[in-house]
């Protein structure tokens, strides 16, 4: 099988090193799939590639119903809509990308933030129950950086109050917990296939559910709520194109080499950085996907100093996630989440992608070792 990444013996590339770089499959493999689109003249509306990608992703992840949609944010909105949630409160984490809270607001709901725990940076299940009110309609935790939420504890709380659990798994593709895909947990799980993700379709996402009735409702909602000329319900345009699906079909066979390459880079960081920066702790039973390499600096001043030093070398890490979502200026009401606010102020993700040269990883580690982290 052909690969398109460089060996660690190649010289340092002078171009900027960003936090990630999109993996691209061998050109001829993608072009072969594109020929099929040209021959069929079918570009969208449940084409053969979209349906094939859904089947292959279901098999890869070991899930029963997966729907390929336009992006991860719409996936969250579809999950809320399929669950029949249009008003009320959604318990969620303040430590995530803005799309998580945005999906809640777009569905006319109110986000209720529960602080995170300090080991994995996922929502603290011991604080969820205190946030449940008569207006609570669902729990929306996030598998941050591919680290699994405490799915057992969250599941028990949800069952006690008869609340659906919608997992934002934008970072969770390829991660496994207790032998199963992290995306197989919860009543709904969503994923992002954005170009920055370790598996991507340029733009895209997915919603995963586990029963036929819910799957049929979700499928209807994502394509305007009608079957042919029979209009059944309000829906949205969340269908994906054959061109995007073709990218996914070209990338999926390379997942094992993508994961292996990223794992090797992360392990090299581990060796070179040692204990100079704090790292999240993987849960017992977690098989990580190495989608990100988050590091926690001693303070924001140290983080900014590291960013300045690395920028001088053409290397650009990113602040994931900043700010803590409970501090967003357009929220009408919120509350303090001290752990999330602290972590958000001093965490960053270092570059990790297929083709990142060992020399760059060593350069980054050397720079960080010279800073009072």
Is the confidence at residue 341, as pLDDT, over 90?
yes
SS3 132: coil
> What confidence tens digit (pLDDT) does each residue in 78-91 have?
999 999 998 999 99
- CA–CA gap between residue 211 and residue 115 (Å, rounded): 31
Distances, alpha carbon 357 to alpha carbons 14, 232, 261, 268, 310, in Å:
12, 53, 11, 11, 16
Closest CA to 71 of 163, 159, 196: 196
> What confidence tens digit (pLDDT) does each residue in 254-271 have?
999 999 999 999 999 999
Mean pLDDT of all residues belonging to the chain: 94
- For the entire predicted model, the pTM comes to 0.94
**Amino acid 191: pLDDT:** 98
Contacts (Cβ under 8 Å, ≥6 apart) of 325: 93, 94, 95, 96, 98, 100, 101, 111, 113, 340
Q: Which structural domains are found in the chain, ordered by start?
A: 27-252 (3.40.640.10), 254-369 (3.90.1150.10)
Is the confidence at residue 24, as pLDDT, over 50?
yes
Rounded CA Rg of the chain: 21
User: H or E segment at 220?
Assistant: helix 212-221
- Residue 138 per-residue DSSP state: E
Distances, alpha carbon 302 to alpha carbons 42, 109, 279, 371, in Å:
53, 37, 15, 7
> What confidence tens digit (pLDDT) does each residue in 286-328 have?
999 999 999 999 999 999 999 999 999 999 999 999 999 999 9
- Number of residues that make up the chain: 373
**Amino acid 126: pLDDT:** 98
Q: Is the peptide bond before 289 cis (omega within 30 degrees of 0)?
A: no
Contact indicator for 173, 291 with CB cutoff of 8 Å? yes
- Residue 312 per-residue DSSP state: T
Distances, alpha carbon 204 to alpha carbons 75, 167, 188, 194, in Å:
9, 17, 17, 6
Is the confidence at residue 67, as pLDDT, over 70?
yes
The confidence band for 13, taking pLDDT boundaries of 50, 70 and 90, is: low
3-state DSSP helix/strand/coil % of the chain, to nearest 5? 40, 15, 45
The confidence band for 333, taking pLDDT boundaries of 50, 70 and 90, is: confident
């Amino acid at each position: 099988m052909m690969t398109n990444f460089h060996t660690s013996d190649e010289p340092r590339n002078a171009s900027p090193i960003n936090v990630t770089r999109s993996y691209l499959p061998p050109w001829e493999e993608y072009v072969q799939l594109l020929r099929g689109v040209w021959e069929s003249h079918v570009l969208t509306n449940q084409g053969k590639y979209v349906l094939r990608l859904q089947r292959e992703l279901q098999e890869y992840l070991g899930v029963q119903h997966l729907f390929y949609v336009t992006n991860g944010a719409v996936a969250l909105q579809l999950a809320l809509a399929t669950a029949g949630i249009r008003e009320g409160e959604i318990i969620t984490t303040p430590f995530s990308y803005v799309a998580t809270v945005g999906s809640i607001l777009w569905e006319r709901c109110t986000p209720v933030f529960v602080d995170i725990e300090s080991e994995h940076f996922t929502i603290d299940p011991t604080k969820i129950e205190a946030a449940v009110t008569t207006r609570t309609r669902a729990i929306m935790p996030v598998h941050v950086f591919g680290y699994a939420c405490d799915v057992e504890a969250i599941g028990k709380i949800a069952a006690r109050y008869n609340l659906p659990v919608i997992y934002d798994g934008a970072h969770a593709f390829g991660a496994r917990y207790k032998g199963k895909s992290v995306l197989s947990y919860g009543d709904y799980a969503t994923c992002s296939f954005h170009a920055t993700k370790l598996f991507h379709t340029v733009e895209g996402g997915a919603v995963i559910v586990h029963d036929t009735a819910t799957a049929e409702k979700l499928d209807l909602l994502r394509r305007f709520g009608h079957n042919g000329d029979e209009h059944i319900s309000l829906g949205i345009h969340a269908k994906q194109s054959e061109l995007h699906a073709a990218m996914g079909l070209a990338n999926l066979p390379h997942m094992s080499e993508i994961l292996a390459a990223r794992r090797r880079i992360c392990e090299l960081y581990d060796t070179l950085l040692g204990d100079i920066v704090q790292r999240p702790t993987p849960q017992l039973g977690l098989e990580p996907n190495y989608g990100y390499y988050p590091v926690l600096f001693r303070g924001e001043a140290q983080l900014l100093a590291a960013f300045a030093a690395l920028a001088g070398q053409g290397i650009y890490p990113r602040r994931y996630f900043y700010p803590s979502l409970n501090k967003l200026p357009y929220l009408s009401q919120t509350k303090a989440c001290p752990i999330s606010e602290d972590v958000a102020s001093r965490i960053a993700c270092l570059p990790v992608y297929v083709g990142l040269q060992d020399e760059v990883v060593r350069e980054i580690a050397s720079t960080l070792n010279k800073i009072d982290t």
